[in-house]
Every structure is written in structure tokens, then in C-alpha cells.
Amino acid sequence: MKLLVVTGLSGAGKSLAVNALEDIGYFCIDNIPAGLLPRILDFAQQGENMLEKVAVVLDVRGCRSPMDITAALDSMDKSLITYQILFLDSADEVLERRYKETRRMHPLSSYEGLSTSEAIGRERALLRPLYEKADYVVDTSLLSTAQNKERICSLFLQSHQQPMVLTLMSFGFKYGLPKEADIVLDVRCLPNPFYVPELKPKTGMDPEVAEYVMQFPQARELLRHIEALLDFSLPLYVKEGKSQLTVAVGCTGGKHRSITFVRLLAEHCRTLGYAPGVQHRDAGRVS
């Protein structure tokens, strides 16, 4: 049985993640007390249950202290229960905005009478043991609902097929670095199609943009060096037991050069035997 513990900050997208996991065959259990976590395996493997893939949501609603969480994880480790942890994160200001837009209260605001900002800070401290042990951390600050679902599905549809889940992401530096990125590559040193009038409204998904970017010798040489870096480093990450790796390629706006490079790098990684997930974080933004 595959057991996945889904956790993270309130408002970071756990409900959406659960919906995505259900769509790919997980049996999901929401909002359990930390003390019941070690007993989930017994439930899932008894009698007619015999579930193959189970996702359990463990968050601030069922935990009152980091010690509760640590005790539950220690109990599972001592019982040799195999599990993985998915942690959904987001920037504090994004979480506060989401609560303001939905007019909902943070759970700790309801329980303890804290302001939203105070509740978020306390929640981060409470969930620290889960964050530190997480196998997968997804920052949803700049992801749309569709992108968030795509990311979850790509992680857990692929994780049984290859030793490391590889994600290639394009982004725009003007919108901030992706917090989940393990490797960040900067292609702003290349000529920018943004300043070519007929290419400005297009993206690196359009052949004419890709042709413009890659017509320059320095672009082809940079791509060659990046491919060599991945050739060398990806097997090392696998050897070290890394379960997921996110390689982010950035240009100014995340629409032209970075998308072009991510698409070419994805093709290269497929020749190496990987099945990379591809995300273009800022492709849909209005410049």
C-alpha cells in the first residue's frame, strides 16, 4: 500500500490536492487527529478495505502541538510503516489575501482568537516537523488552480515509474523565484524576443519564437552547457535518493526564452530516460 500524508498551511491548496489525488485513484481521508495516523494502515489493510493508495490529510485542525505530530511520525517509523509526506506551502501575504478574498477565518483564528497573520505564523511553527520530513514540497503562491492540480498529478502519476520525479519549470524573474526550485537557471543573457514587435504577443510555445531564440550561437552553446550539467547531475541526485527535483529556467517575463529552453530541455531529459513534468508558470500573465 502507498500511504501519503497530505499536509501544509491552511489556504495553500490541500483541498484541491485531495481532489486531484482522488482523480488519480487515491482513497482520501480528511482531517484526522495526529494520534490516529499510525492506525490508518490497519484500517486500510483489513478485510474488504485492502486499499492500494491512501492519502491522509493531517493539518492544524487535528494537531495541537509539534509534539503530537512528532509522536505520530515516530510511532509510524517504529512500526516500519512506509509513507511519504506532501507539504503544501504558500507565501504569507498570499495566504492572507486568499482569506480576505474568501472571507473565511483561519482555523487557528477560530480556535485561539488570533489574527490571520498571527495564525499563519503559529501554524508554520506547529507544522515544522512535517515540513522538515516532507518528501514533496509544493509552493502554490503563484500557481493557478489548473497548474496546482497538474503539479500534484504529475508528481504522483510519475513517482511509481521512475526513481525521481523531475519537473522543468519556466518562470519570469519579474514575478519572483519559484520557492520549490532546486536548480535555478537564468537565460536573460540571451536576445529577448519581447522587443521584436511580431513576437512580443507570442510565447516560446510558438515555433517562430523558438526559432528566433535558438538562431543565436550563444543560445545553442548555453543549451549545450545546461544539457551537460543535467547529464552529470541528475544521476547523482537519483543516487543520493532525492525523490523530486525541480529545475526552473527563468527569463524576464517567463514567456519567451525560458519556455523555449524548458521545452528543449524536456526533450533532452526524455532521451536520458526521465519523464519530466513541464510547467510554464507565467506564460498566461499579461505583460
- The reported pLDDT for the residue numbered 166 is 92
For residue 168, which of 149, 144, 150 has the smallest C-alpha distance? Answer: 150
At residue 140, does pLDDT exceed 90?
yes
Tell me if residue 137 falls in helix, strand or coil: strand
pLDDT band of 287, cuts 50, 70, 90 = low
What phi-psi label fits residue 221: left (phi over 0), alpha (psi between -120 and 50 degrees) or beta? alpha
Q: Do the strands 53-57 and 27-29 form a parallel or antiparallel pair, or are they unpaired?
A: parallel
β partners of residue 246: 167
172 in Cβ contact with 255 (< 8 Å): yes
Q: How much of the chain, in percent, has pLDDT values that exceed 70?
A: 95
At residue 161, does pLDDT exceed 80?
no
- The reported pLDDT for the residue numbered 94 is 94
Rounded CA-CA distance 16/270 in Å is 29
**166 CB contacts (<8 Å, ≥6 apart)?**
234, 244, 245, 247, 269, 274, 275, 276, 277
120 in Cβ contact with 95 (< 8 Å): yes
- The reported pLDDT for the residue numbered 283 is 93
Domain locations along the chain: 2-158, 165-280
**pTM (two decimals):** 0.69
At residue 47, does pLDDT exceed 70?
no
Where helices occur in the chain by DSSP H, the ranges are 14-23, 40-44, 66-78, 92-102, 107-112, 116-126, 128-133, 145-158, 207-214, 217-239, 257-271
More confident position, 106 or 45: 106
Strand (E) or helix (H) holding 9: none
Which of the following CATH numbers is that of domain 2-158: 3.40.50.300, 3.20.20.80, 3.90.550.10, 3.40.630.10?
Answer: 3.40.50.300
**5 CB contacts (<8 Å, ≥6 apart)?**
37, 55, 56, 58, 83, 84, 85, 86, 130
- The reported pLDDT for the residue numbered 266 is 97
For residue 36, which of 12, 68, 66 has the smallest C-alpha distance? Answer: 68
Kindly tell me the number of DSSP H helices and DSSP E strands found in the chain.
11, 9
Q: Each residue of 235-262: b (16+ CB within 10 Å) or e? A: eebbeeebebbbbbbbbbbbbbbbbbbb
110 in Cβ contact with 10 (< 8 Å): no
- The reported pLDDT for the residue numbered 6 is 96
- How does pLDDT run across 184-230, given as a tens digit for each residue? 999 999 999 999 999 999 999 999 999 999 999 999 999 999 999 99
Tell me if residue 183 falls in helix, strand or coil: strand
Rounded CA-CA distance 130/121 in Å is 15
- How does pLDDT run across 150-159, given as a tens digit for each residue? 888 888 875 5
- How does pLDDT run across 52-63, given as a tens digit for each residue? 889 999 998 888
